[in-house]
Amino acid sequence: MKKSTLALPALLASLLGLAYAVSKHRAEVESPPGRPVVLVSEPEHAATPAMIAAAGSMERRAAPAFRAVADDGETYTLRDLAEQGPLALVFIKVGCPCSVAARPFYDRLHQAYGSRVRFFGVIDGDADVAREWSRANRLSFPILCDPGLQIVREYRAENSAYFAIISKGGAIERYWPGYSVGMLNEANERLARLAGVEAMPFDATDAPVEIYSGCPF
């Protein structure tokens, strides 16, 4: 009996250690209400120099045109949206924990500038999939449906969590293959400038230090 009693704490410690090790290599998909989901990124999700260069090569070019139905039932085109003002696109992959982890940061940007900058997600699914993802993750802006990956391919979004800022008129102002503390702070400044307002205070706590992308499309 004594041997069994002593073995139990050791077993529990072993299981706890295993759970901790696993948790370091996956994203948390749930968090307490009001707290952001935190992504503990695996090395393979780091944006490569090639990804950063490819996204950067899209800047100052005309944004690829699109026409897509959103989860709100409306049909949107790049032309109509770009005529109204600045636009931000967030690329989302169904089943990708990285998309879930990035969501709170992009939501904060939307909440800061959403009345002056239109925000849309782009998801690799139909309207039902988009609505369910938005509901489950409490997204604050509409999602464009791209089940055939046409928009994804036109914008050369290799992975989820890509983020594009498009100026009024339709040129790509800035494009990132993921998110980080520095990227989010720069996006905050650029969105403020395009919106014609002072930059809002922005909390990038828990974002990666280096740019991390999501899961491949």
Q: What is the pLDDT of residue 42?
A: 63
pLDDT given for residue 43 in this prediction: 67
Regions in the chain scoring below 70 on pLDDT:
1-43
Which pLDDT does position 45 carry in this prediction?
87
**How many angstroms separate the most distant Cα atoms in the chain?**
77
pLDDT at 127: 97
d(CA 197, CA 177): 26
Q: Are 191 and 109 in contact (CB under 8 A)?
A: yes
Q: Provide the pLDDT for residue 111.
A: 95
Q: Which domains does the chain have, with CATH numbers?
A: 45-217 (3.40.30.10)
Continuous segment of H or E residues that includes residue 113: helix 97-113
Q: Which residue has the tokens 């993921």?
A: 178
Distance CA 31, CA 39 (A): 11
Q: What is the pLDDT of residue 38?
A: 43
At residue 103, the pLDDT reads 97
Pairwise CA distance, residues 18 & 157, whole Å: 35
pLDDT above 70: percentage of residues in the chain: 80
pLDDT at 166: 98
pLDDT tens-digit series, residues 184-205: 999 999 999 999 999 999 999 9
Burial of 120 (0-12, 13-18, 19+ CB in 10 A): buried
- Which pLDDT belongs to residue 44? 73
DSSP state string for 127-161: HHHHHHHHHHHT-SS-EEE-TT-HHHHHTT--BTT
**Half-sphere exposure of residue 187, counting CA atoms within 13 Å on the CB side?**
34
- pTM metric for this prediction: 0.81
The whole-angstrom separation of Cα 59 and Cα 55 is 7
138-168 confidence digits (pLDDT tens) = 999 999 999 999 999 999 999 999 999 999 9
